[in-house]
Structure 1
Amino acid sequence: MKTDSVLHPLADIHSQIYEKRQQLGLKRGYLDLFKNVGIMLLIILIAFTQIFYITVSKGTDMYPAILDGDIVFGYRLDTTYLKNDVVVCNVNNKKVISRVVAKEGDSVEITKDGKLFVNGTEQTGEIAFPTKRGKQHYPYIVPKGCVYLLGDYRTHTTDSRNFGPVKKENIKAKVISIFRRRGI
């Protein structure tokens, strides 16, 4: 019985070349995998630093809509802020989550009995807490390029009544979803 090398004098070289090709194919597969994982990580990094925003709520400023410890998911690219939008902003190097109640040019009036008026219309909604007056003189006109924010827990919150209107450029994201920490 004759061996393969006797049958074909180049059989050993052929098998060595075949093994080398297999090893190179395996290396290329790993390199492609690492390249694809790197690209996916880069896309995720860009998405969550430029498009989306994730943070954890601290405090009760937005109670009962957002509770302490809830995960807040925001969208950074939408810069048109409408009444009742919830936003995450930076005020005096502190993260604030609050609700837009008035935009630039709007008139804000808070009465002594805790009623909120925007442009002369009383704002009655799902907010169960009275709105205490802030340090502004009312009626207050929201300056150009700013929004007026109020937390939902109106009697125990720090918002535009304390720190004034917020410039739109200080808004980090518009909240699009909330994940309750108890649900995770």
Structure 2
Amino acid sequence: MHPLDNEALKLGARAVRRRRLDAENRQDFISLLGRVVVILLCAWVLFTQVFLLTQAKGSSMFPAVKDGDLLICYRLQKTYAKNDVVVYTQGGKLRVGRILGREGDLVALDDSGTLVVNGAVQSGEILYPTYAKDALEYPYTVPEGCFFVLGDYRTQSEDSRDFGPVPLEDVQAKVITLLRRRSL
């Protein structure tokens, strides 16, 4: 065999190996890209359909939720209980509040700042009195498919006392946890 033929065979073998390696690299890249797309799609579904991440604005829920806290909420909640903290829309804005009355509940506010739901005084850990505002007449019966939602900072919050009951379809999610803002 001629030395040039031997050299040509070696060059040909190298070219074949290089092409095979390039093809394997392309396949690995396409596989990696497909996996990244699937992970991003799953994350998109999780955080647009199952969970809601939002930042609290204002101090209507102080001290439970402070301005700037990151709220992690669950969107697939079907039923809500009294004292659940929820994110809801009102007037085109996302708001945070505590459910204090469900459909059929009788809510009464008196001049001393006492909140009474179905004949039971509601005090809990709320530091602020609950005074009536002009939007509703008390005692007030919560209509079907609605909630009576109040902020914890009762003297400063805009809530059902200002704009009436919150319809179930306006409740976006239930707050399941929050991350406290630390000088962010």
Alignment of 1:11-160 (within 5 A): 12-135=11-134, 136-160=136-160
Give 1:137 deviation, angstroms: 1.2
TM-score, with structure 2 as normaliser = 0.92
* Aligned mates of 1:25, 1:5 — CA distance in 2: 29
* Aligned mates of 2:5, 2:46 — CA distance in 1: 58
The residue type equivalent to 2:99 in the other structure is V
Give 1:92 deviation, angstroms: 1.1
* Aligned mates of 2:167, 2:75 — CA distance in 1: 15
Kindly tell me: are residues 42 and 3 of structure 1, through their superposed partners in 2, closer, same or farther at Cα, counting changes over 3 Å?
farther
Deviations 1:135-175 (A, max 9, x none): 21111110010000000001111000000000010111100
Kindly tell me: are residues 3 and 125 of structure 1, through their superposed partners in 2, closer, same or farther at Cα, counting changes over 3 Å?
farther
The residue type equivalent to 2:140 in the other structure is Y
For the aligned residue pairs, the C-alpha RMSD in angstroms reads 1.9
Give 1:89 deviation, angstroms: 0.6
Give 1:18 deviation, angstroms: 2.1
Counterpart residue number, 2:164 = 164
The residue type equivalent to 1:182 in the other structure is R
SS in 1 for 2:82: coil
SS in 2 for 1:23: helix
Kindly tell me: are residues 4 and 128 of structure 1, through their superposed partners in 2, closer, same or farther at Cα, counting changes over 3 Å?
farther
SS in 2 for 1:182: coil
Q: Deviating runs (4+, > 4 A) in structure 1?
A: 2-5, 9-12
Give 1:19 deviation, angstroms: 1.8
Deviations 1:72-98 (A, max 9, x none): 110100021111100111001111100
Counterpart residue number, 1:175 = 175
Give 1:22 deviation, angstroms: 0.8
- 8 Å CA contact 1:5–1:12 kept in 2: the answer is no
Give 1:16 deviation, angstroms: 2.6
* Aligned mates of 2:45, 2:162 — CA distance in 1: 34
| Count of paired positions | 182
